[in-house]
Amino acid sequence: MGAHLPAVLRRPAVLWTALIAALAAAVVTVLVVVPDDASEASYLDPEAPVAARVADLLGRMTIEEKVGQMTQVAVPAVEGVPSDIAELGIGSLLNGGSDALHDTAEGWAAMIDGFQTQAMDSRLSIPLVYGIDAVHGNGALPGAVVFPHNIGLGAAHDPDLAGQAAAITAAETRATGVHWTFAPCVCVARDSRWGRTYESYGEDPGLAVEYAGPVVQGLQGANLAANTSVLATAKHFVGDGGTAFGSSTTEDYLLDQGVTTLTEEELRAIHLAPFKAAVDAGVGSVMASFSSTDLGGGPVKAHADSYLINEVLKGELGFDGFVVSDWQGVDQVSEDYAEAVRLSINAGVDMVMVPFEYRRFIDTLVAEVDSGGVSEERIDNAVSRILTQKFALGLFERPFADTSGAGEIGSAEHRDTARRAAAASQTLLRNDNAILPLAADASIYVAGSGADSLGRQLGGWTASWQGSVEAVTEGTSILAGMQEVAPDAAITYSEDASEPIGDAAVGVVVVAEDPYAEGIGDAGAGEHDMRVSDADAAAIDTVCAAVDCVVIVVSGRPIEITSHLAPVDALVAAWLPGSEGAGVADPLFGMAPYGGRLPVTWPRANDQEPMNVGDEAYDPLYPYGFGLQTAG
């Protein structure tokens, strides 16, 4: 009998995913959760139209339950009190910054299903939707494939390949029980000092427009309810890539949370166009930006910009998904929390990433409704948008994780796609005397901080918010990739170039930035100054003075390298290539072509920033779109 009941009516007394994780067989006791008037509950009918299901469910909800659905909570906030999920009807959970909370798909699924059991135990059994920052692969799972960050994909100029990467990301994410990714970032980076530059496809809005559709479709698939699809999020709405250096009101954030000042025509042409492409592709959610926009009347926080969210995004562009806030983004709208909540919700934010003080948020928003500050009609609109996506995800029929695809996580096929993406992103900027590609049997001296550092080539948003030099995921370093691609080469490795160079015929120095993410990565806010480190500079000087020399730059944006170029024969921008270092080695040895082209302008010096193609004073080291080609 149970097999013929809608899944929302079945609640396992024991978490089956936890049993899978333990590899034990058990008999699952099926209990029936019956809401009031279940015989007439059309929201439980999978054959009913989604709009009818939403309307039916909405009509059964109290204002408190509706506000609960608008609340997104971080896992640490409810770990000790999971019953709050049922009591308050919390609609969504997340873990911040791609934190690697579990080592296996089954471990993730068991955790999420534990919380989902609480949600299904609520009065109306409305399932949770769980979100994560799977922005270049499921970076929260150590064995998952990690793709090049967006800037590398932009250099490849291959939206279809990016769509394939997105589809693999979706499959490797949904197999862990996660339903929703906060990607793609369709920002247009107009100043490379911005710590999120690598999350952008480039400085030209045309790139983001080209990529938005295939990536959204790759993530969401043909059927959002499939166990290989996740809800996508276009972010950050709108103009976050255009903030002015030093305009942030938060001292540590020189660009990331600053002000974008421009005309509305410029905003539409540069920053809004990619969101239109994402909406046209059917994106299910949009995330508001931390930044502010000044169209001539003074800066307005994006979270409270009713014109841009309500009138432009939801009205003019026809976006019918839901708008989610960024991490505590609502709190920044006003020092008066009630005012901040009122302004943000009325401006069109549908779900609030609280992420910790969820009772405070719920109580505040309910009080605002009671006082008339926020209308119940506005609440109904927000909740309808959220529920629509939950129905589309199939969560009411299948609320618990389907880990049947876990065996494909990190598969050879998936890694091959990541390797092809890394190879396609390699951008050749100098090749004097046609030194590249290298001979497969060459005698090579390898140095530099990025040569054998998986963590540096993965970058931020990998296993944690800021990433780590000490990588905790699986993959192949660039050095290991060279050894794999050219097993007959005689390779000597010394990170700091302190070992004798001997009779090596060529040197390869891989310079790298340490991992970073938003805010902390802004140039001028700490150690991330977009310059070659002293240790890497010394390695260039030592190696390139002795032998013909290739310098590979592992970075999330252009770095100031002009003063180090005199002895360099070949220069390659590898960007942040992800877990498959062999993709960097493939064109190095001619197994694939160099075909990447700069998605951002490469300045001679950092103080030239911001510099973008089309500027009146445009004197870069390498212009936008530049890239030498080789045969593969």
DSSP letters for 149-194: PHHHHHHHT-HHHHHHHHHHHHHHHHTTT--EE---B----S-TTS
pLDDT the model gives residue 38: 52
> How high does pLDDT run on average in the chain?
93
CB within 8 Å of 163: residues ≥ 6 apart? 214, 215, 217, 218
Q: Of the residues 326, 495, 536, 548, which is catalytic? A: 326
In 3D space, the residue among 141, 155, 143 whose CA is nearest the CA of residue 111 turns out to be: 141
Q: Which helix (H) or strand (E) holds 482?
A: helix 478-485
pLDDT the model gives residue 97: 83
What CATH number has the domain spanning 132-406? 3.20.20.300
Task: Indicate whether 336 pLDDT > 60.
Answer: yes
pLDDT the model gives residue 96: 84
Task: Indicate whether 1 pLDDT > 80.
Answer: no
For residues 250-261, give the mean pLDDT. Answer: 78
pLDDT the model gives residue 40: 75
Q: Of the residues 106, 113, 514, 518, which is catalytic? A: 518
* Dist. CA 390–CA 393, nearest whole Å: 5
Which residues sit opposite 301 in a β-bridge? 292
pLDDT the model gives residue 121: 95
Let me know if domain 426-608 sits in CATH 3.40.50.1700.
yes
pLDDT the model gives residue 25: 29
Instruction: Give pLDDT tens digits for 509-555.
Output: 999 999 999 988 998 766 678 999 999 999 999 999 999 999 999 99
36 part of the active site: no
Domain regions of the chain by residue span: 132-406, 426-608
SS3 10: strand
First to last CA, the chain: 60
Q: Are 322 and 35 in contact (CB under 8 A)?
A: no
Handedness of CA 94, 96, 98, 101 (dihedral sign): negative
Q: Are 16 and 400 in contact (CB under 8 A)?
A: yes
Comparing 210 with 30, the larger pLDDT belongs to: 210
Q: Are 596 and 425 in contact (CB under 8 A)?
A: yes
pLDDT the model gives residue 5: 31
pLDDT the model gives residue 36: 52
CB within 8 Å of 256: residues ≥ 6 apart? 194, 195, 196, 240, 243, 248, 290, 291, 518, 519, 522
* Dist. CA 173–CA 147, nearest whole Å: 13
In this prediction, residue 230 has a pLDDT band, given cuts at 50, 70 and 90, of very high
Q: Fold match between 132-406 and 426-608?
A: no
Task: Indicate whether 560 pLDDT > 70.
Answer: yes
pLDDT the model gives residue 296: 96
Name the token pair of 22: 């333990």
Report the interhelical angle of 273-280 vs 205-220 (nearest 10°). 20
* Dist. CA 287–CA 464, nearest whole Å: 20
SS3 346: helix
18-32, 239-253, 326-340: which has the highest mean pLDDT? 326-340
pLDDT the model gives residue 23: 34
My answer on whether omega of the bond before 610 falls inside 30° of 0, hence cis, is yes
Strands (DSSP E) found in 254-312: 259-261, 285-288, 292-294, 300-301
pLDDT the model gives residue 527: 65
SS3 502: coil
Instruction: Give pLDDT tens digits for 22-74.
Output: 333 233 333 334 455 555 789 999 999 999 999 999 999 999 999 999 999 99
For residues 178-201, give the mean pLDDT. Answer: 97
pLDDT the model gives residue 253: 61
pLDDT the model gives residue 324: 98
* Dist. CA 129–CA 174, nearest whole Å: 11
Instruction: Give pLDDT tens digits for 385-430.
Output: 999 999 999 999 999 999 999 999 999 999 999 999 999 999 999 9
* Dist. CA 32–CA 7, nearest whole Å: 10
pLDDT the model gives residue 39: 52
113 part of the active site: no
Instruction: Give pLDDT tens digits for 590-613.
Output: 999 999 999 999 999 999 999 999
